[in-house]
Amino acid sequence: MRFPLSLLSLLASSVATSAWADDIAVNSRVAEVIVHPEVAAITRRAEFDLPAGRHRLILNNIPYSADLETLQIDLTGARQTAVLFREDGAPPRRADDPEVLAAKAAVKEVKMRIQAVRDEASRAASEATAAKTAIGFLEQLGSNEGLAEAGAEALRDITRMIASEADAAGKQALEAQIRARAIEDQLEDLAKELRYAEQALEAIAIEDSNRLYLVIEVDMAAAGPSALELKYFTSGLVFSEPSYEWHLATGESSEVTLKRGFGVWQATGENWNGVDLTISTLQPGERGAPSQINALKRRVQDPRPEPKLRSQASAAYDESTMGVGNLAEPIIEPMIIEEAAGGVRWGADTSGPGATYHFSHPVSIASGPDVLKLEMDSLTTEAEVLAVAVPMQDETAYRVARVTNDFDGDLLESDHVPMFVDGKLVTFSDFAGLAVGQEIELGFGALHGLRLSRDVLQKSEGERGVISRSNQQEEVVEISVENLTGETWPLRLLDRVPYSEQEELEITWNAQPRVSAENVDKQRGILAWEFDLAPGEDKLIRLETTLSWPEGKLLR
């Protein structure tokens, strides 16, 4: 329900009992659109002249996607007295809509020109056919048996006449054929013109035929001009997303350039033609108030013996027969990802909450098929370029640019972002967004000349990797990174050791050379080595880990 029932009843009663000078049809147009990430705020405008008296303004071209619960009306030049809204049974868009009529006329005009060209080509083809018929007649005339009795002089005259007429008819046929081909060549351009005209008509036809019915009751003290502005949110599908390109320029001083744009798509049921477009990062549909927490009451009580379930009995049997004790907690802790919030600046209004970016030229977006991409600007900042190696997962290191967002606004999340190095496309990546002042490491593709290996060393028993007894496990790992490139790379190598939150599970480890950082990015057990790797150099890292736990326990 878009309006409270009591309000509708009151308005309907007002309309039924009032006397009106006349009903005036008003066609409003979409003038401004503010596109949020998943919704749009629409501003419609109309200007008209009204005579003195009380009138009903009939607005029947508002699409069904308009959310009239959010409707705001600004009327100038007249006094608004009531509003009536009818959702069901609203009249469809009129067939004599000027925009529809103009598009149909354009299609008809192109079709008429195509037919005219075809008619002219047919006339040229008819002339060629007639000329060929004349040639055939002259050929038959030359072979007529009656000419055998004619004298020599008469035969010469007949021969000259046949040759002359056949030559003229042949030239006429050739010229007619050439003219027909030239005329038919025009059809190709006309066919393209017809397709464009039909597409323009289809763009209008895809608008929803079902329109809302809105009546605004007004009172005019004196005749004069009036203006109407309607603002509302649309319940139709609207989508906007930033479009990014990251460009890394290497050299003595590396820098990163961000090229920004915006993609906009809408399916509101009507076309936006020449609208004033603004992009906003605010999301009106989000929750507007913080969460509430309730008081936590704790108490203690004497323990009760728990009933022995079948599963517990089975577990007891397993422990007695296999020597299995309490299970340890998982060794690997899940990564916590924090989602960046904010918006993208377009050199526009960043005062107050969120940010808005106004496009300087009127834009047009058809409902449904059109995806509009607006080019924005380029932002450049310094970057620290290094190679990052994860031998546990990868065979090569990767080029990474460490960048801080020192731009004038937050950067929104975007998918499938192209990444360039010195003008060459190297990969595509998803961008999670970046708040002002936040640092990020951007991946710019593999460095195939930095080769990685990670081997668990061979043991005397012939097993690979692990020497263990019932309550101890030892592991020795050798990590290698080799530089086959022609330049020295600042390299950051990442690996891991297990961790535990149980005192009875003791974990010790030793690394040669020593690590540069532990618990990287607040992830327990993640280690980092940082060093410069010269061309042709091979760096070896030895990592030894020992896990010990009480007898009768099982390592998990």
- Number of neighbours of residue 345 by Cβ within 10 angstroms: 22
89 and 211 share one domain: yes
In a domain, 214, yes or no: yes
- Number of neighbours of residue 374 by Cβ within 10 angstroms: 19
Residue 330's pLDDT is what?
A: 33
In a domain, 253, yes or no: no
Residue 40 has pLDDT above 60, yes or no: yes
**What is the token pair recorded at 196?**
């464009």
The model's confidence at residue 214, banded by pLDDT at 50, 70 and 90, is confident
Mean pLDDT for the stretch of residues 197-226: 78
3-state secondary structure at position 542: strand
191 and 225 share one domain: no
Residue with tokens 């802790």: 333
Residue 381 has pLDDT above 70, yes or no: yes
**Across 177-186, 297-306, 532-541, least confident range:** 297-306
- Number of neighbours of residue 342 by Cβ within 10 angstroms: 19
Which one of 167, 189, 205 terminates a domain? 205
How far apart are the C-alpha atoms of 18 and 199, rounded to whole Å?
A: 46
161 and 195 share one domain: yes
pLDDT digits (tens, 9 = 90+) for 274-312: 999 988 877 787 777 887 778 776 665 667 665 554 444
* Parent domain of 33: 5-93+207-235
User: Are 214 and 84 in contact, with CB atoms under 8 Å apart?
Assistant: yes
Residue 425's pLDDT is what?
A: 96
30 and 11 share one domain: yes
199 and 211 share one domain: no
Q: If you average pLDDT over every residue of the chain, what do you get?
A: 77
Most confident range, picked from 117-121, 173-177, 296-300, 519-523: 519-523
Residue 18's pLDDT is what?
A: 44
In total, how many domains does the chain have?
Answer: 2
- Number of neighbours of residue 163 by Cβ within 10 angstroms: 12
Residue 50 has pLDDT above 60, yes or no: yes
In a domain, 160, yes or no: yes
Which one of 184, 205, 226 terminates a domain? 205
Residue 351's pLDDT is what?
A: 63
133 and 216 share one domain: no
> Could you give the percent of the chain with pLDDT greater than 90?
30
Note the residue count of the chain: 556
- Number of neighbours of residue 332 by Cβ within 10 angstroms: 11
pLDDT digits (tens, 9 = 90+) for 385-429: 999 999 999 999 999 999 999 887 788 888 899 999 999 999 999
- Look up residue 380 and give its DSSP letter: E
